[in-house]
Amino acid sequence: MESNIIEKIKKEIENFDTISFEADSGEVVSVGDGVAEIEGLVNAKMSEMVLFETSDKKPLKEAMQQQDALYGLVLNLEEDSVKVVILGDSSRVFEGMRAVSTGKVLSVGVSDEIIGRVVSTMAEPLDGKGEIKVDKYMPLERDAYGVIDRKSVDTPLHTGIKAIDSMIPIGRGQRELIIGDRFTGKTTVAIDTIINQKYEPESERPICIYVAIGQKEAKTARIVAELQEAGVMEYTIVVDAPASSPAAMQFLAPYSGVAIAEYFLEKGKDVLIIYDDLSKQAVAYRQVSLLLRRPPGREAYPGDIFYLHSRLLERAVKLSDKLGGGSITALPIIETQEGDVSAYIPTNVISITDGQIALDSSLFNKGIKPAIDVGNSVSRVGSAAQTKAMKKVAGGLRVELAQFRELEAFMQFAQDLDEATKKRIDKGQRMVALLKQPKGKPLPFEKQVVSIYAGMADLFAEVDVEKVPEVENNWLEYVETQHSDIYKEISETRDLTDEVKEKLNKAIEEFKKANLN
């Protein structure tokens, strides 16, 4: 239905040759802070693009095709006027200027050429690699797919992070929030997830979209360099709305990202989209809303701030086979202040998503990275998509760690501990060390299974806690060189059969004799 609307709009635009700025046009009566008030646009609609007059007063179609065409977005419909957010250089707009309705909803031009590129909110190239050919215009705002068009999440999306894939699994089509204070590694989790997709078979590899909202240009440039170094830009798109860009561009950037994602979704592909971060988008939207004179509510956010995020995140979907079976998996990031998840924006987004990965600054400061707080993290959908192999090895891991956390607190006050408690604490410490992972080094799913299986089978029981990561590396290398068929079998069957368990137990004994005695 959406594509029919777009086709209709395109046909209407074809007939604009003869229309001048005297047609459905209005006059700018005031302008300031990137917002223009226009009188006379009686037929204007919400989210419609208006085109500001060109100095040479060309016909509308020609003006729209100009490289420097200046648009505004209708966001307020009032009794005598409309208020428009200027999408570009607001210094070019002045009182008395003419503006005309285009009849077109705000859209971005997309094609397969956009993969591997860094683009702006309006999908214009920022990486100096030339123009991007447009195959289709995708609307920034559209209704999310309904229940009948969807199917349940049944395919895993591996992040390459042991703590997540084992205990907080993510499925394709899920919305999983990454939440935590500043400098707790939220972006690192997201970038490692993109890097890990290179281990997926090419036919199953999702297209990854990273939306940088209100970030420093230096941070985004560093992330792009990291992705290039890891060789993953070939399936990644970066949408950049930096802190220096107008607030309107920052608030529209996530919608632009999901519009690009929907282009690939309609082709039956899987897409992973990361919004970094929605706290900054909410602040940008608050700024735009206050400039539009919308009444402020709690924490000065406008009343529709919940709707802002719900209509964005509802567009994450696992489509039914009838519609191509594609998916959009959303990983929104939210920044908390002093771990306060009960603030307005965090509670909003927690209630919209299907679970959250909570990062804890105290764990981060102890050197436990990624600093995932297992107690406060949950995935309400992903376990349905988790592979059998991971389910079998990770089943007892969450309980093991939860018990360890309780005993760890108790241990501070107890003088002497009985043997069983001491053993449990020792194992817990080693499992925490085993789940540590360096930045930019995600592990393929089969290696995670082999690593966690060895930990649960007490391979590291006699190893000093500090040396666990080193011994783990040696163990994974040993399996790769001496028993590579184990990796192959787990990767192909996605299961941990009794035969593979037997091989693993045998390999553990051999490794212990050769390396730990």
Torsion of CA 221, 263, 208, 244, to 10 degrees: 20
Cα–Cα distance measured from residue 212 to residue 45, given in angstroms and rounded to the nearest whole number: 29
- Is 192 within 8 Å of 439 (Cβ atoms)? yes
- The CA distances from residue 72 to 93, 104, 105, 156, 248, in Å, are 10, 11, 11, 41, 10
Torsion of CA 115, 118, 119, 121, to 10 degrees: 110
> Which amino acid is present at 238?
V
Cα–Cα distance measured from residue 222 to residue 230, given in angstroms and rounded to the nearest whole number: 12
Burial letters for 446-458: b for 16+ Cβ neighbours within 10 Å, e otherwise? Answer: bbbbbbbbbbbee
Cα–Cα distance measured from residue 12 to residue 399, given in angstroms and rounded to the nearest whole number: 61
Task: Copy the structure tokens of residue 217.
Answer: 């240009």
| Strand (E) or helix (H) holding 195 | helix 186-196
Cα–Cα distance measured from residue 509 to residue 75, given in angstroms and rounded to the nearest whole number: 67
- The CA distances from residue 132 to 12, 111, 135, 261, in Å, are 24, 8, 9, 16
> Which amino acid is present at 264?
F
Verify whether residue 380 is a known catalytic residue: yes
Cα–Cα distance measured from residue 95 to residue 74, given in angstroms and rounded to the nearest whole number: 17
- The candidate with the shortest Cα–Cα distance to 38, out of 88, 95, 89, 92, is 95
Cα–Cα distance measured from residue 142 to residue 2, given in angstroms and rounded to the nearest whole number: 8
| Strand (E) or helix (H) holding 465 | none
> Which amino acid is present at 75?
L
Cα–Cα distance measured from residue 186 to residue 219, given in angstroms and rounded to the nearest whole number: 13
List the catalytic residue out of 380, 398, 405, 424: 380
Alpha helices in 273-337 (DSSP H): 278-291, 305-313
Q: Which residues are catalytic?
A: 380
